[in-house]
Amino acid sequence: MTPPEPLARQCGDAISAGSAVTWPLAARAQQPVIGYLANSSPSTFTQFLTAFRRGLSEGGFVEGQNVVIEYRWSEGQQDRLPEFAADLVRRQVAVIVASGGGAPALAAKAATATIPIVFMGGTDPVKLGLVESLARPGGNATGVLNVSTEVTAKRLALLRELVPTATLIAVLRNPASPDAGGQLSEIEGAARTLGQQVQIVEASSERDFEAAFATIARVHAPALFVSADPLFTGQRAQLAALAAQYAIPASYSFRELAVAGGLMSYGVDLTDVYHQAGVYAGRILKGSKPPDLPVSRPTKFELVINLKTAKALWLAIPPGVLAIADEVIE
């Protein structure tokens, strides 16, 4: 649900400084406050925030009417997350929603052992120490996963079908992300199963993208597998433009990157992930505890093929792949 115009304006003012919307003390005293801690920039995540608010509204909470959301945007600067998390704890928010992988979730977890946390991420939260198990989270955190090992293996196999001559596939990852190690293990495991050689290329900020693509060209990798990371999702237009510039067929985790011009995507519906996080936040505001809310795992996946990009690359999409695509962009 889109907030009223005055609220939207206040959110925009707060966004640029990574700070909160300022609310009258009387209104704050009467309304629960959600702390929204994001490892991203809001300008590229508008549709996901809409989905989050929709999930909240299903629990009876509407931003600007009976709930306040304090936004903290790191703008991709992960070192700011601990101070933002600590500030939300000082403000005694009712729940912290950690968006953008393991980094904000870990920052929130380090800042409080009592305030409930709802995270969104793609790495095993048990290995990260966020929960005791997916079914019984324990502690003060639960959340929604957006990637699975099965998806990684399937996506690599689909890329091989699109570029069957690719003896080497480049893998772009963000080494600064806490999720990087887990994702790399999944990718390398899938590559071993397929007998596929991969070359790891790293980018921890958008300033590294040009050098990363130059490296991909230098090692003559004819295809690119982009790991799931909020940095890459947020800078999807730039990644798609570079892939087009270097004429490299690329595979991504989420539909939004294919819509931005990427060749293909296979993964969960991100809007559904944010919607579910909103539902969980609403349930916590109504009294549920994180240990009683199992970590939600993805069950619905979508394959998107950008036929326009394929034609620009002079790449013929196998009929079998087109037949199973959930969406074909022409």
Domain co-membership, 120 together with 136: yes
Domain co-membership, 318 together with 180: yes
Q: What is the pTM of this model?
A: 0.84
Domain co-membership, 100 together with 184: no
Q: How confident is the model at residue 4 (pLDDT cuts 50, 70, 90)?
A: very low
Contacts (Cβ under 8 Å, ≥6 apart) of 9: none
Domain co-membership, 168 together with 243: yes
pLDDT at 149 over 80: no
Burial of 177 by CB count in 10 Å (0-12 exposed, 13-18 middle, 19+ buried)?
buried
Mean residue pLDDT of the chain comes to 89
The gap between the terminal CA atoms of the chain, to the nearest Å, is 30
Domain co-membership, 243 together with 281: no
The model's pLDDT over 261-314, given as tens digits with 9 standing for 90+, comes to 999 999 998 899 999 999 999 999 999 999 999 999 888 889 999 999 999 999
Distance separating alpha carbons of residues 19 and 93, to the nearest angstrom: 14
Sign of CA dihedral 117, 122, 126, 129: negative
Count of structural domains, the chain: 2
Domain co-membership, 159 together with 101: no
Domain co-membership, 263 together with 202: yes
Mean predicted confidence (pLDDT) in 25-35: 72
The count of other CB atoms within 10 Å of the CB of residue 90 is 9
Residues in the chain: 330
Domain co-membership, 319 together with 287: no
What's the confidence (pLDDT) of residue 11? Answer: 40
Domain co-membership, 107 together with 207: no
* Residue 19 structural domain: 5-147+269-292
Domain co-membership, 171 together with 263: yes
What's the confidence (pLDDT) of residue 26? Answer: 41
What's the confidence (pLDDT) of residue 29? Answer: 53
* Nearest by Cα to 97 from 271, 291, 287, 279: 279
Domain co-membership, 129 together with 259: no
Q: How confident is the model at residue 317 (pLDDT cuts 50, 70, 90)?
A: very high
Expressed in percent and rounded to 5, the helix, strand and coil fractions of the chain are: 45, 20, 35
Domain co-membership, 288 together with 142: yes
CATH number of the domain within which 44 lies: 3.40.50.2300
Distance separating alpha carbons of residues 200 and 192, to the nearest angstrom: 14
Burial of 159 by CB count in 10 Å (0-12 exposed, 13-18 middle, 19+ buried)?
buried
